[in-house]
Structure 1
């Protein structure tokens, strides 16, 4: 049996309840599509530590995981996506697209489907919307 590699994603919510979306700039087959920021676990790392590290590396922010969104979503084998809500720590810099992204957007509940999410992120975004705003969102 092939071991799964966990990829952590962050549903970063600001104080206004907006969700942070990141537009991919690489690789070419993903460029221009939107995702929840995050990345792969390193050996010996907990998912929560990976999330904090990835947000620092990708966006230049200090954040903390708040709660795990129930579920896991298959990505390109052997990867599986797990998502946490996260919040920026007081005094953290504003997020910037530092690695693999060229734009960031803070989305309200009404704007969440205004971006072209990566297909594999759509089911996770649906669950994030259900938990973050406690209202039904677009079905995956």
Structure 2
């Protein structure tokens, strides 16, 4: 392979409420893939462990506090976009402190797993839907 793409490491969470619904967040205008629905999370900064990055991102994006022990590694996705390759582990999260708030996204929705495919998602997020549907 002559042209190698840089790998971008991001981390995401499937927040699951007591009714078995999963939280998805709509990407805001002005960001790449605006309007698509995704699992909350973000880039892993240099020197951060994935769990640290996810705790930081969930605090910034949703205003919640998460204990690392409550993050359950679930599955990962690997997807080649045009200018980079994305590697994203997805964690399951059923316990957190605080109330989920929309801070950075255009909208938030709690969705039953069998309805997740009704929401357009970035290509890297799409394969995660089947895993969640099978689990929940």
Q: For the superposition of Structure 1 and Structure 2, which TM-score range results when normalised by the shorter chain?
A: 0.7 to 0.9
Root mean square deviation of aligned Cα: 2.0
Partner of residue 74, structure 1 = 79
State the alpha-carbon separation in 1 of the partners of residues 51 and 32 from structure 2: 28
State the alpha-carbon separation in 2 of the partners of residues 94 and 51 from structure 1: 17
Alignment partner for residue 91 of structure 2, among 72, 77, 84?
A: 84
1:123 aligns with 2:130: no
Q: TM-score, normalised by structure 2?
A: 0.82
Q: TM-score, normalised by structure 1?
A: 0.80
8 Å Cα contact 2:24/2:109 also seen in 1:
yes
Count residues in correspondence: 129
Deviates more, 1:108-117 or 1:12-21: 108-117
1:98 aligns with 2:107: no
Deviates more, 1:70-79 or 1:12-21: 70-79
Partner of residue 8, structure 1 = 11
Deviations 1:17-62 (A, max 9, x none): 1100001114354121100010011111111111111100111111
Structure 1 residue runs without a partner (length 5+): 134-140
